[in-house]
Structures are given as C-alpha cells and as structure tokens.
Structure 1
C-alpha cells in the first residue's frame, strides 16, 4: 500500500521508504516540532551574531560561520538519518527546525546588501562566494565524514564480555 500524497514537509521524498515514515506523524505534530526546533536554532544564531557583530563594510564572519557550521551539521545529520532508523519527528525537529532556524539566507542577503550600500562591493562579492563555496563544501564534508565514521563503527566487532 502506498502512502497518501499528503505531506507537511516538502523535503519528504515519497519514493524513499524511510522518508515515508514521517507521514505517520500528524501534520500538527510535525509543524509543532519544526517550530520548536526553529526557535532553538534561531536563538542560537541570534546569540552568535550578537556576540560577534561586524561593521557594514566588514566581512560578516558570524553569519558566515553560522551558515557553514549549519551546513556541516546538516550533512552529518543526513548521513546519520540515512543509516540509522529514527522516529518520524527527528528530522523535522533537527534538520528543518533547529538547523533550518540556525542557518540564515535572509541575514546572508542583508549582510551583502549592506556591504554594497556602504561601498564595500568587493567584500560583498567575497562574502557571497565564500558562503556559497563554504556551505557546499561543509555539507559534503559533514556527510562524507559522518558516513565514514558510521561505516567504521558498523565494522567494529562488538565486545564479547570476555576478559572483564
């Protein structure tokens, strides 16, 4: 039997059996879970940005760091979720909520616009490119490194309890 074509989260691929498990959760539960995670992620991002402010003409290191770190963690999370069974609300909470709220395209765009307006077009272009390249490399690295660690952990023999 195929699941209904209804979904709250557009990231759910109905052709992937593990993703279809998320359809078992009620839409209200999924949205509430995403919202709760989003609050935590947005608060963490706001804290980092408040701790490391920058001038309009300066490179926005806090936003860049948040976005690259968030992408690294998203890559790691997706590697875990594709190899380990989890509940139907884990990915919506951590991936869409926490990490979606933590990373920020809006601040990325505003930081670039402010730099251009302040006369630092070169800084804006460097920031735009560094974020794009850094985010793509980070998500790849998070996925690849976590995948290797999980594969290594699966190959490791379980302790037998002998010699204790």
Structure 2
C-alpha cells in the first residue's frame, strides 16, 4: 500500500509543478503554450536520467525512493500525452514544419537530456 501512496504523492507534486510551468508560459508566450510541454519533457528527461543513475549507483537507498521520485514526481511532471496532442494541434493548424520541429526537439532533447543526466551522475559518483 505504501508504494501506491508514494507514487500518488509524487504524482500530485509533479502534476502541480507541470501546471505551474504551463501557467507561467501562458503568461509569457500565450501563443506558444507548447513550449511548456517541451520544457517539462526535456527537464524531466534530464532528471529521470540523473535519478536512474543515482539509484543504480546507490543500492543502499530505499527501493521506495524511485517510486516516489521517478514513477510519481517525474511521471506526473512529464507530459507525453500532452506532447502528442500539442503536436497534432500544431500540425492541424497548418504549421507542418513547426510541428515537425516540435516533435524533433522534444524527442532528441529528451534523449539527450536523459543521457546527460545519466552521465552527470555516473561521472560525479
């Protein structure tokens, strides 16, 4: 039961953080709200790379910690379903190149950020 509670707690915090980023971007660039999704997906990918490596290199840390941080917090923070919807909306608005750029930057940026996070932890521990 504690596993579910930790995932729920982390997910609630991650979701509020994601909403906060979207709220901030809506006030700065209301015409480019999808930037918030790109940001959270890349930042979330970086931190999940960090967390993954940290937990691999630190087996002494409780097995509950990844549930709270990776599954819960970062799962609630990142937004693949929103990413998919945003890409389709941009594409359906006739902005085909912008939609392709959005998908490319999100996917490559996320992969690069996750790799950087893993490398950072690997080389600092």
TM-score normalised to structure 1 length: 0.71
Give the match for residue 118 of structure 2. Answer: 143
Aligned residue among 48, 51, 71 for 1:74:
48
Please give the alpha-carbon distance, in whole angstroms, between the structure 2 residues aligned to 1:147 and 1:48: 29
TM-score normalised to structure 2 length: 0.92
For the aligned residue pairs, the C-alpha RMSD in angstroms reads: 1.2
Question: Any gaps of 5 or more consecutive residues in structure 2?
Answer: none
Please give the alpha-carbon distance, in whole angstroms, between the structure 2 residues aligned to 1:148 and 1:31: 32
Please say which structure displays the higher CA radius of gyration. Answer: 1
Please give the alpha-carbon distance, in whole angstroms, between the structure 2 residues aligned to 1:131 and 1:91: 24
Please give the alpha-carbon distance, in whole angstroms, between the structure 1 residues aligned to 2:33 and 2:5: 35
Q: Which structure exhibits the higher relative contact order, with contacts defined as CA atoms closer than 8 Å and separated by 6 or more residues?
A: 2
Question: Any gaps of 5 or more consecutive residues in structure 1?
Answer: 1-27, 151-164
Q: Deviations over 1:56-91 (max 9, x none)?
A: xx4722110110000000000111101112112100
* Larger helix fraction of residues: 2
Structure 2 residue 89 is the aligned partner of structure 1 residue 114: yes
Runs of 4+ in 1 over 2 A off after TM superposition: none
Give the match for residue 63 of structure 2. Answer: 88
Q: Any conservation in 2 of the 1:59–1:127 contact (CA below 8 Å)?
A: no
Q: Deviations over 1:82-126 (max 9, x none)?
A: 111211210000000001110010110111111112221111111
Aligned residue among 13, 21, 27 for 1:48:
21
The alignment covers a number of residue pairs equal to 121
Equivalent positions of 1:17-32 (< 5 A) are 28-32=1-5
3-state DSSP class of the match of 2:61? coil
